[in-house]
């Protein structure tokens, strides 16, 4: 039973990786630019964009996916930074393609082995293929939100220094977005772009909070919105927020340091202690065995 499972895994994983790489690679960037430039000139640009296998898979994905689930995927994309290589349409196209690949592998597995475990794995494969894009997107979103959490205290310090030096708040935000290189700088740039296209400051910053799951970001946005509504000096708000973020960063570091002994315990028990026992007690056990055999 182990050999068929291993063979199925060796077949399913490369097929899924190949389909994911094909569907997630942005090979049509030039065609997309040309389509945007020629929008409105062609008789039916929407139909032209839907042509091909990718368009058919995207249409199938939109047809079988509920609207609430599409909104959830869009939220996951926003938290992951909306990677250019994986727009929402390509994500919807990848899900049925991977599910179909998993179904094909399941059919091969069921035709070759009637064992119950093989049947269970075969039933699970299409579901797993359909959920692979969600898992990868969720993982990328978690990494990005963690990077935002690490970047936030330094960015607030930079905003505070800029405001106290005489810059306006939007100018300080623009400077932090221009000089920053992390995901929080990208989110600040997105917020400034939202205000430039006509959104109010409140709506733009609330959008920043919606695109992030970091509690510190939401606290910062709430403080900025309240300061704008009640006329509070933004330098005072930034000073309080920067101090609070530094305290939380120190608390997170202390918390991680307290978790370290627990994380080290399992490697010690399963990898280091057995080797030490063998090195220390091994000669004594060998001598004891030799003495016992010599006495007989």
Q: For 15-67, what is each residue's pLDDT tens digit?
A: 555 555 555 555 455 455 556 555 554 444 444 444 466 677 778 778 888 88
Q: Tens digits of per-residue pLDDT, 110-166? A: 887 667 777 888 888 888 888 888 888 899 999 999 999 999 999 999 999 999 998
- Buried-exposed string 228-239: b where 16+ CB fall within 10 A, e elsewhere: beeeeebbebbb
Whether pTM > 0.75 for this model: the answer is no
pLDDT computed for residue 276 by the predictor: 82
pLDDT computed for residue 1 by the predictor: 47
15-24, 192-201, 231-240, 247-256: which has the minimum mean pLDDT? 15-24
How far apart are the C-alpha atoms of 294 and 12, rounded to whole Å?
57
pLDDT computed for residue 41 by the predictor: 45
List the domain boundaries for the chain: 2-145, 147-249
How far apart are the C-alpha atoms of 196 and 95, rounded to whole Å?
35
pLDDT computed for residue 162 by the predictor: 92
Fold that domain 147-249 belongs to in CATH: Receptor-associated Protein (1.20.81)
* φ, ψ (nearest 5 deg) of residue 51: -70, 150
pLDDT computed for residue 35 by the predictor: 60
Distances (CA, A) of 293 to 114, 278, 288, 296: 52, 21, 9, 5
pLDDT computed for residue 10 by the predictor: 54
């Amino acid at each position: 039973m182990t050999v068929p499972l291993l063979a199925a895994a060796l077949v399913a994983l490369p097929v899924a990786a190949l389909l994911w790489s094909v569907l997630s690679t942005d090979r049509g960037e030039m065609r997309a630019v040309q389509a945007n430039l020629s929008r409105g000139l062609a008789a039916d640009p929407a139909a032209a964009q839907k042509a091909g296998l990718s368009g058919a898979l995207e249409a199938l994905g939109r047809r079988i996916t509920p609207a609430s689930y599409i909104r959830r995927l869009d939220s996951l994309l926003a938290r992951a930074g909306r990677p250019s290589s994986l727009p929402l349409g390509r994500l919807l196209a990848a899900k049925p393609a991977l599910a179909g690949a998993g179904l094909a592998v399941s059919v091969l597995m069921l035709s070759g082995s009637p064992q119950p475990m093989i049947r269970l794995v075969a039933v699970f494969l299409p579901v797993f293929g359909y959920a692979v894009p969600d898992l990868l997107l969720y993982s990328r979103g978690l990494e990005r939100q963690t990077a935002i959490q690490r970047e936030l205290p330094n960015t607030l310090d930079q905003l505070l220094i800029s405001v106290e030096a005489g810059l306006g708040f939007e100018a300080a935000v623009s400077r932090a977005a221009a000089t920053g290189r992390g995901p929080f700088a990208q989110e600040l740039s997105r917020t400034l772009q939202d205000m430039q296209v006509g959104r109010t400051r409140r709506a733009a910053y609330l959008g920043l909070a919606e695109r992030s799951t970091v509690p510190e970001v939401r606290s910062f946005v709430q403080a900025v919105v309240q300061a704008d509504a009640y006329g509070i000096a933004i330098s005072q708000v930034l000073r309080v927020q920067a101090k609070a973020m530094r305290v939380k960063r120190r608390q997170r570091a202390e918390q991680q340091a307290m978790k370290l002994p627990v994380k080290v315990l399992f490697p010690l028990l399963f990898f280091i202690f057995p080797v030490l026992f063998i090195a220390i007690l091994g000669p004594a056990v060998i001598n004891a065995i030799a003495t016992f055999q010599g006495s007989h």
